Structure 1
Amino acid sequence: FGTCCKTPCSSSCSVQAGLLQPINRFKPKNPEVGTLRILLYGPQGAGKSSVFNSVDSALKGRITTRALAHAVETDHSFTVESKTYKVKKDSPDSYFPFNFTDIAGMHGEDRGIHRDDIIKLLNGHINSGYTFNPLKPITNEDPKYIKNPTLKDRIHCLVAVLPANTVSMMDDNIIRQMSDVRKEARDLGIPQVIIMTKVDESCPLVKDDLKKIYTSKKIKQKVLLCSIKLGIPVSCIYPVKNYHEERAIDDTIDILILDALKNIINFADDNVEDQVDSD
């Protein structure tokens, strides 16, 4: 599944370094876009905030918790604002040329983010810091509304975050909402991937040894199910384990996260490379 590096543990450090090197050197090819924008969306409790924290941790080489995430399952999404996170490099005032927008989780009832707000985010109309109202989408009078977004304001890759352990029980209404967003992104030419989280909670073998993610039949079944649910090719689905209880960096977790990140920024870069802003 996907393009995960199927590697023996003895070479994990070299694989990790091989993934980090192109990410550290990466620059968008389109000069109009200095920073690629990646949008994380999905159901409540899928681990969107933890995905960003895991990316940040893998790049920094230490555990970070910049995006606040719930420690236990909850019926309410912890993220209520559209918050965009820049990813800092080691050197002072230096950032990676990509960022992540983390938004409130979608809900089967009227308690999650409004679908129309996500569509406006895709088009670059919503500024970071906007507080979501699940019953009322943003209006063009809102101070956080960008009336005339340019290419750099738009989303360059859409990342659905789905939990492997509960994907088979996802609410049909959430699937419909996510499919609507996916269709809008498709019409805009925005590349799409799935990050499948909580693999350790889905397969006991993987829980005992994360390296068995590469051979687990159960994980393969979950990847196929994610593909069927959202219509995204298996090659664009990345099973990962987020940093959650860990107090130190783990090479296997890093490899899964960095492999997904490498492909996401490449897809986003392909999206903007040939676009010319008409504004």
Structure 2
Amino acid sequence: MSFLRRKDKKRKTPWRTAESQWDEQDAKSQWDEQYSRRLCAEIREFNINIGTRDRREMERVMANLLVLGPAKAGKSAFINSVLSISSGRRLRTADSADYEFGTVTTKYSIYGGDGEVDNIQLHDTPGLMEQEGQGFNSENFIPLIDGHIEDGYEFQRERGINESDPNYRPNSTRRDKINCVVFVVDVSTLKTLTDNYTQQIRALQNVLVDKGIPQVLLLTKCDKLSKHARKNTANIFRSKRIEKYVKYAGSKFGIQQSYIHPIVNYGENPDGLDEKVNIPILLALRQMVYFAGDYLENQVQVERSTPENTTG
């Protein structure tokens, strides 16, 4: 991993444009309010077909995004950043883990559903921790993604939810279920992330692969990694060091590089919004919504083809 310690250099052209995630219009866009508003509109207005191929019935996507990652990786800061962008002002709704021990989030909380990107709901969970019996309990993972846990459930460290719990939803619908999972990792800790954390994430990924649920990876705190991104967040896709870390994260977690998003979250200072901070987050959100839509459209077709939903 010595290549990760090399001096950060700035590319003349963004490295992300070499991948298929951006279209020609993205590559040519200025990082300004107009581009930010266009991304919000694309996220907000994305539709899928819930009808048949012959008789299309369009429905706006509601993306249920489950946010997971190690404690203090920036999960809650990401949620607050999305809510701030959507509302047009700085918000601090989800608690952030800024102290030395533990994870702040103990209750299952669902945020979003209004503002500029009102078709996104962010599902917050306790952070992953190394100590057994601490942080996110993997026994809750399948009930979560299957939509059986209601907003407000108090996570128990020693056990997963059971069907007798008042926050257990026995009959979940498509609107309750998770349709994309967002893993969040602090890029500055990527080299030192222990095998325990990696194995926890890999185990959750295996469940997602079996269920066909899409996943993306956010690399947070990229301003700590790159002086160029620290000076101007618009340089985040020009930093050679960040590019190398994205490639390393792809091999570490088995995720395609174009599904990995380096971002800078809003911090504790109460300053206003910055389009150059917004845009990498919005690019990530757009992909999440697209992935959620693809998954939902496929699920609708699967439901339509099951015997109880067919006639004749």
Same fold judged by TM-score > 0.5? Answer: yes
1:270 partner letter: D
- By how many angstroms is 1:81 displaced? 0.8
Is 1:47 equivalent to 2:69 in the alignment?
no
CA distance in 1, matches of 2:199, 2:240: 27
CA distance in 1, matches of 2:101, 2:167: 27
| Correspondence for 1:163 | 186
- By how many angstroms is 1:34 displaced? 6.8
| Correspondence for 1:66 | 93
Which range moved further: 125-134 or 45-54?
125-134
2:179 partner letter: H
1:154-211 deviations in Å (ceiling 9; x for gaps) = 1100100111111111121121111111110111110110111100112222212222
| Correspondence for 2:13 | none
Query: Which residue among 64, 77, 84 is the counterpart of 2:110?
Result: 84
Asked if the contact 1:28/1:36 (under 8 Å) is kept, the reply is: no
| Correspondence for 2:118 | 96
Q: Which has the larger radius of gyration?
A: 2
Q: Give the TM-score normalised by the residue count of structure 2.
A: 0.81
Q: Helix, strand or coil: the match of 2:183?
A: strand
Query: What does residue range 1-279 of structure 1 map to in structure 2 within 5 Å?
Result: 1=16, 3=21, 5-6=26-27, 11-27=31-47, 29-30=49-50, 35-70=62-97, 72-89=98-115, 96-110=118-132, 111-244=134-267, 245-276=269-300, 277=303
Asked if the contact 1:83/1:129 (under 8 Å) is kept, the reply is: yes
Q: Please give the root-mean-square deviation of Cα atoms over the aligned residues, in Å.
A: 2.2
- By how many angstroms is 1:108 displaced? 0.9
CA distance in 1, matches of 2:28, 2:105: 35
1:227-246 deviations in Å (ceiling 9; x for gaps) = 12211100101111001135
Asked if the contact 2:85/2:278 (under 8 Å) is kept, the reply is: yes
Question: Which of structures 1 and 2 has the larger relative contact order (alpha carbons within 8 angstroms, sep 6+)?
Answer: 1
1:38-74 deviations in Å (ceiling 9; x for gaps) = 100000001111111111111222111121223x343
1:61-112 deviations in Å (ceiling 9; x for gaps) = 2111121223x3432111001111133127xxxx822211010000011211
Q: Helix, strand or coil: the match of 1:168?
A: coil
- By how many angstroms is 1:28 displaced? 5.0
Q: How many residues matched? A: 273
| Correspondence for 2:8 | none
% same residue: 29
CA distance in 1, matches of 2:273, 2:31: 16
Q: Helix, strand or coil: the match of 2:216?
A: strand
2:280 partner letter: L
Asked if the contact 1:44/1:75 (under 8 Å) is kept, the reply is: no
Asked if the contact 1:80/1:103 (under 8 Å) is kept, the reply is: yes
Asked if the contact 2:86/2:118 (under 8 Å) is kept, the reply is: no
* Structure 1 unaligned residues grouped into runs of 5+: none
Asked if the contact 1:40/1:102 (under 8 Å) is kept, the reply is: yes
CA distance in 1, matches of 2:297, 2:227: 42
- By how many angstroms is 1:18 displaced? 2.0
Cα pair distance change 1:228/1:97, threshold 3 Å? same
1:128 partner letter: D
Asked if the contact 1:53/1:64 (under 8 Å) is kept, the reply is: yes
CA distance in 1, matches of 2:61, 2:228: 42
